[in-house]
Structure 1
């Protein structure tokens, strides 16, 4: 409710997609890491708000996919990314529950079990950040970036 319009506006305002995508993922990484490894540092509602705002960056790839594909396949490309998002979401929730049960040995879910299981999700966020660096910049300022900077962006 907050993150998608805010980060979409920011991406349009600065004319670049990658920095907003990466910043949102970094915000998710910090909020999730605080939830998992530093409980009590900030109130849970504040971490939830920050996590929700950061997760709004998930809409940025929809813009990217429409900007990098020719008109004749934009619908298919958007459908493909949407399919992946919903399929992975549907599969990851039960997989995480299975992992929690497996790590606890069927016993109590302790903070240590939760932290161990959550490290996989945190690693996924880190992987997403790394992969985002390999995306081609598509914002309206992408064409005005010098060639040397395009290699780094």
Structure 2
């Protein structure tokens, strides 16, 4: 059998192009498709706003757990969650994995899913500064939460959550 360089190039190029097209062709954001969460911080304190999709829930946690606090325990990654005080313009807080709409991820979850958003006191996080201390004080650092269990709740909020 003769080695065919052109045939091999086509063999590898076609699947690569198909994969690229599959990852770039996603539904546009709109009333039934939210890919970002924005927050307006009307308070006078800086906040870290972290969200979590909770799958197969029987009960939804009230306070952030280890996995939610992991990113904000790192001084570099926590900056992406910061919403400064008295922010007038909405800031993008999060974007779901692979650009899939939050509504689609909740709808397609076999055991049910909900979206939980935590409002965390940035000053306390910065002073505690380690994951172990954040876990120990998770009730004190969490100033409030917002839970979306259905797409109707998400539509009503239009994914703009204001903290006051």
| TM-score normalized by the length of structure 1 | 0.30
Structure (1 or 2) with the greater strand fraction: 2
| TM-score normalized by the length of structure 2 | 0.28
Give the greater-gyration-radius structure (CA): 2
